[in-house]
Structure 1
Amino acid sequence: MFDEQVQSMRAAQKQRTATRIVEAAAQLFTEHGFQSTTVRQVAAQAGVSVGAVMAVGDKESLLSLVYDRAIADRIPPPPAPAGAGAAAPSAVEYLSHYFDPFLGLFAENDDLARAYFRTLARGKDENAALGALRTLTEDNLTAALVNAGAPEAQARLGAQVMFSSYLGELTLLAAGSTDPQQTAARIGRTAAFVTAQEGL
């Protein structure tokens, strides 16, 4: 019993330390840029040792954690299914605007967004951000399509198409060959295509 309480207290302390480290990294990345920020600076800002920072992750992992938390705070929940006699929720509207908060986040700090995308593109084993984002996104988009009346299997395929479209658009955005407005417009057209295929 006592050991369990000690372990629980240690786990809570470890989580608080990790949160402080990620918040310090977010502040320094925003103020000084990703390239100019060092792990030593993050440690000093968080009031912990360099070892404590590295236990949470290297610089790229910290950037992923910063963006993961910011994205998680902005993800819109899927619309609820329509009640009896009520109009079905607009799947095309939800799919069209699902990625708007992500694009907004990327537009807030272009250099940081590019560094984050490069981190995702490298696909380090310890960086599960892309997989977690994909799962959450596809689950939300699938639910929106199912709630609008699409069969589950087709809805899942439509959600996969939307996520792939988003990643492709993000690649173009990170390369500087498009802008957020064009990206949002193309995602909207993909949403219209997907919902049309679903017969919604």
Structure 2
Amino acid sequence: MVGERVQFRSEKWRQTEARIIRAAADLFLEHGFRATTVRAVARAAEVSVGRVMSVGDKDAILVACFDRWIGQLQDGTYSPLPRRASLSKRGAGTAPRASAGTGVSANATYAAAPGPPRATSAVQRHLPELFLPFLEFFAAHEDLSRDYAAAMMRVKAEPEVFNALALDLQGRLSESLISIGIDDGHARASAAALYDSYLGILFRWAATTMTLSEASDALLATIAFHTRARGPL
């Protein structure tokens, strides 16, 4: 009986925490990070300010929101809300156009980029499609993404983007690399390197004047390097 009450309270807390994250996510997308207050999140989630703070401060909540968005992008359940225009307008007009499906067209990016090698296999064309929706999301919410990059440096907890979300995406990358004849050991190592490169490119994009096209080119060049067939370790 006691165990059931504890389980009930635990589940109720998880539901409340999820409601707080959803409310914060909507407010961040609509108003931006700096204009959103903890009090506004509490009102939107219909909880007390103290309950919001028990989830974390604004930095921690923003990181949790990005974990949620990245998870949705990875499993294909993300539904974009009408987005707030970027305040800085940096890189306007440089983002690749979205394809008729989801994410940015990898083929169009390869064709438009003069520097990186062109795709030579279906896998080389498929791998950018795993990454480009994230680049597109960051570009669509440029100011919020830069605030996220800064918040990641301040929070003490380890975000899911370094844990379960990382393992999931690396698993997909590894499977694609194995499918073109790269042995299992090299595929896993290259998948981890690709994931680290992707994170590095995102943070570099958020912290510098790097454009989305330049970020895409850097990612494509990294993919081209790691999709070369290798022998056993």
Which range, TM-score by smaller chain? 0.7 to 0.9
SS in 2 for 1:196: coil
Tell me what 1:86 maps to.
none
Measured after TM superposition, the shift of residue 76 of structure 1 is: 5.8
Cα distance between partner residues in 2 of 1:193 and 1:143? 17
Tell me what 1:73 maps to.
72
Aligned-residue sequence identity (percent) comes to: 35
Cα distance between partner residues in 2 of 1:116 and 1:129? 14
Q: 1:198 to 1:118 in 2, by over 3 A?
A: farther
Tell me what 2:158 maps to.
127
Tell me what 2:35 maps to.
36
Cα distance between partner residues in 1 of 2:27 and 2:208? 24
Tell me what 2:114 maps to.
none
Tell me what 2:200 maps to.
168
Tell me what 1:155 maps to.
187
- 2:125 equivalent to 1:100: no
Cα distance between partner residues in 2 of 1:48 and 1:66? 18
The amino acid of 2:64's aligned partner reads L
Q: 1:197 to 1:161 in 2, by over 3 A?
A: farther
The amino acid of 1:162's aligned partner reads L
Tell me what 2:51 maps to.
52
Task: Point out where structure 1 has 5 or more consecutive residues left out of the alignment.
Answer: 78-88
SS in 1 for 2:158: coil
CA contact (8 A) 1:64 1:127 kept: no
**Alignment: residue pair count:** 186
Task: Point out where structure 2 has 5 or more consecutive residues left out of the alignment.
Answer: 77-120
CA contact (8 A) 1:20 1:46 kept: yes
SS in 2 for 1:177: coil
Measured after TM superposition, the shift of residue 116 of structure 1 is: 0.8
Detail structure 1 runs of 4+ shifted over 6 Å in the superposition: none
The amino acid of 2:160's aligned partner reads A
Greater Cα shift, 111-120 or 135-144: 135-144
Measured after TM superposition, the shift of residue 153 of structure 1 is: 1.2
TM-score in terms of structure 1 length: 0.83
Tell me what 1:192 maps to.
224
CA contact (8 A) 2:180 2:229 kept: no
Cα distance between partner residues in 2 of 1:35 and 1:198? 48
Cα distance between partner residues in 2 of 1:104 and 1:6? 44
Measured after TM superposition, the shift of residue 174 of structure 1 is: 0.6
Cα shift readout 1:103-136 (whole Å, capped 9, x = no counterpart): 11111211111111112234x3313234224333
SS in 2 for 1:150: coil
CA contact (8 A) 2:67 2:159 kept: no
Identify, as 1 or 2, the structure richer in helix: 1
CA contact (8 A) 1:138 1:160 kept: yes
The amino acid of 1:158's aligned partner reads S
RMSD: 2.1
The amino acid of 1:57's aligned partner reads G
Measured after TM superposition, the shift of residue 151 of structure 1 is: 1.6
Cα distance between partner residues in 1 of 2:130 and 2:220? 10
The amino acid of 2:199's aligned partner reads L
